[in-house]
Structure 1
């Protein structure tokens, strides 16, 4: 196989990854200092060697919005900040199922149930806990998508129950490096997040854990975050780019504190450090990358995306996302939910079609008022 990019650091790293070696922090720091073009070429080769040539799409629903007691500096849902978002309690199992069916129709392979709180509590909020379990069962039994969830901190018992109920991936982002984390969050610490990830993995769930780029972190922080995730073992690594929300401590900027080139470089380095994981481009891509640039991360090692709306902001049309995937020379993944990409694109040419699921602002809040 030809894998020469002309950059010795990148070429040596690619050769070692293809030979089965795991790159370390020293490698990551050397790589992230290399030019974006060489990194993208090397990472794309590694992706082609180890993946199936598809981009895996997931969608989410904001199943409980706002009034979160945590103070994450990027988050519109924190009760510490005045961001003007709609807030509501848990939507209920049937509404979550409706969102899952919309995601299924839009080609998602995975569907994530997300709640805004430090952590679900089987002990302190048993009614809500039981509704979440029922929602998982409904999505599992009545759709073809795999069920994921992001429910905050977990106890060992809660993790065991979620695994037994068939939860596929547990999402719990570490956001940034251990060093930089206190600059982002003050109400819990980095180790709290790692404990929950370890509990979820010990219970048998796959891990979906990643970062937010552009919060003022350094390239070294980006590498250190990837090494933490390497140590704990993730199968899905979501890469968000900050979408500044007015009212939050990080809301003053017009865009994330990271360039397009640095985004591409980080995606490529993450691919080289995580050759067997789905490196998933998620929130903030539409704000920080122009429409004719969004295919570039998928030519630099990314092989997953979040499609549809996000938690409190609108996302991109799923039909447009399929076209971005195809522009990068890849295909939508259809291993779990075998949909017709052409039907999705045709459906979303109709301006009356609902965008898939993530924010509950357009669909769920009106239903709550009924």
Structure 2
């Protein structure tokens, strides 16, 4: 018997998803117009049917901060905007390993190496490229973590090398719909982003690509972004919510986004992407009250980004575990079998977060 929410539109879509059918743009638009409660119920059903019953936690390190030549309107690391952030070159393999070990201790299953630039270039910056590869090797050898990367635009050769080094997921967010993208970014195109994702996928890496909500996009844009991600083929779909940084263009034209909008979008994304981890990432703490952070998990989300972000602080991994428990779920331990009680015991802030002495780990976006 198919689960029924009592909403005819939602129930029809849910039945088709459970039967293995892929929903399309028309379905997504119809679902986005429905009340949040039946959507949340349906999202949870899809997660339970297609998922493994866990919430997967990833952590990232800002391995190279600031002075990025791109003009993404949400990003504190762009050289085009005066945001006052700390800038530095590539941290180096030992510092990356230090960050990974802390992330491992705090319950992450995945560890992403992130740089702020258009692309790590094997040809133009060979020393930095060599350090990236050595960092990947060290983390894989010494930690029980899946290693991911967000290194900007890739050539086919670079993607092949990263895949051979064992990169699991390549992160390169599309940020928003193809229509709205030029309103946010002027120095490269939506198609440029898709090309890099295609190159990474062809090399054998899984894809982590998602969006930022609250940048002035419409509900239609949110659906069209999800449909574009269907065509790309992602296994991890991060949902960032804009946490505007003073000095960026979007800080001056922020569009308020409600808890209901966030929960509804997460549920619709889960219905459109039943096989992907829909992951709560940057900006969730700034946009969701603490007492409501479990609601997107109850609506179908089954992944989080834990710890700090690229240039802004997150909450403690212990608090994230409590939110997972509040949603009636359990943390994933497939790669890293950690001790939840020990993580929560560090919740009082007396110890450093996974990257306090290294770098912060991206509230503007998980790859920019």
Query: 3-state SS of the aligned residue for 1:348?
Result: helix
Q: Does the CA-based 8 Å contact 2:43-2:299 persist in structure 1?
A: yes
Residue 77 of structure 2 aligns with which residue? 77
Cα distance, 1:356 vs structure 2:
2.2
Aligned length: 361
TM-score (norm 1): 0.96
After TM superposition, the runs of 4+ consecutive aligned structure 1 residues lying more than 6 A away are: none
Q: 1:163-178 residue pairs with structure 2 within 5 A? A: 163-178=163-178
Query: 3-state SS of the aligned residue for 2:291?
Result: coil
1:27-80, CA deviations, whole angstroms, 9 ceiling, x for partnerless residues?
A: 001000100111001111111111111100000000000000000000000000
Q: Does the CA-based 8 Å contact 2:62-2:360 persist in structure 1?
A: no
In the aligned structure 1, how far is the partner of 2:180 from the partner of 2:115? 25
Q: Does the CA-based 8 Å contact 2:312-2:360 persist in structure 1?
A: no
Query: 3-state SS of the aligned residue for 1:240?
Result: strand
Residue 260 of structure 2 aligns with which residue? 261
Cα distance, 1:322 vs structure 2:
0.2
Residue 39 of structure 1 aligns with which residue? 39
1:326 and 2:315 are equivalent in the alignment = no
Residue 119 of structure 2 aligns with which residue? 119
Cα distance, 1:358 vs structure 2:
8.0
Q: Does the CA-based 8 Å contact 2:61-2:360 persist in structure 1?
A: no
Q: 1:275-354 residue pairs with structure 2 within 5 A? A: 275-349=274-348, 351-354=349-352
Q: Does the CA-based 8 Å contact 1:9-1:30 persist in structure 2?
A: yes
Cα distance, 1:359 vs structure 2:
9.0
In the aligned structure 1, how far is the partner of 2:112 from the partner of 2:24? 31
Relative to structure 1, the CA distance from residue 183 to residue 131 in structure 2 (aligned partners, 3 Å threshold; closer, same or farther) is same
Residue 270 of structure 1 aligns with which residue? 269
In the aligned structure 2, how far is the partner of 1:237 from the partner of 1:221? 16
In the aligned structure 1, how far is the partner of 2:200 from the partner of 2:23? 25
Query: 3-state SS of the aligned residue for 1:182?
Result: helix
Residue 368 of structure 1 aligns with which residue? none
In the aligned structure 1, how far is the partner of 2:23 from the partner of 2:357? 37
In the aligned structure 2, how far is the partner of 1:99 from the partner of 1:90? 13
Query: 3-state SS of the aligned residue for 1:56?
Result: strand
Q: Does the CA-based 8 Å contact 1:309-1:359 persist in structure 2?
A: no
In the aligned structure 1, how far is the partner of 2:360 from the partner of 2:212? 25
Gaps in structure 1 of 5+ consecutive residues? 364-370
1:69-113, CA deviations, whole angstroms, 9 ceiling, x for partnerless residues?
A: 000000000000000000000000000000000000000000000
Relative to structure 1, the CA distance from residue 359 to residue 279 in structure 2 (aligned partners, 3 Å threshold; closer, same or farther) is farther
Q: Does the CA-based 8 Å contact 1:62-1:359 persist in structure 2?
A: no
In the aligned structure 2, how far is the partner of 1:328 from the partner of 1:360? 32
Q: Does the CA-based 8 Å contact 1:147-1:166 persist in structure 2?
A: yes
Q: Does the CA-based 8 Å contact 1:58-1:111 persist in structure 2?
A: yes
Query: 3-state SS of the aligned residue for 1:250?
Result: helix
Relative to structure 1, the CA distance from residue 248 to residue 190 in structure 2 (aligned partners, 3 Å threshold; closer, same or farther) is same
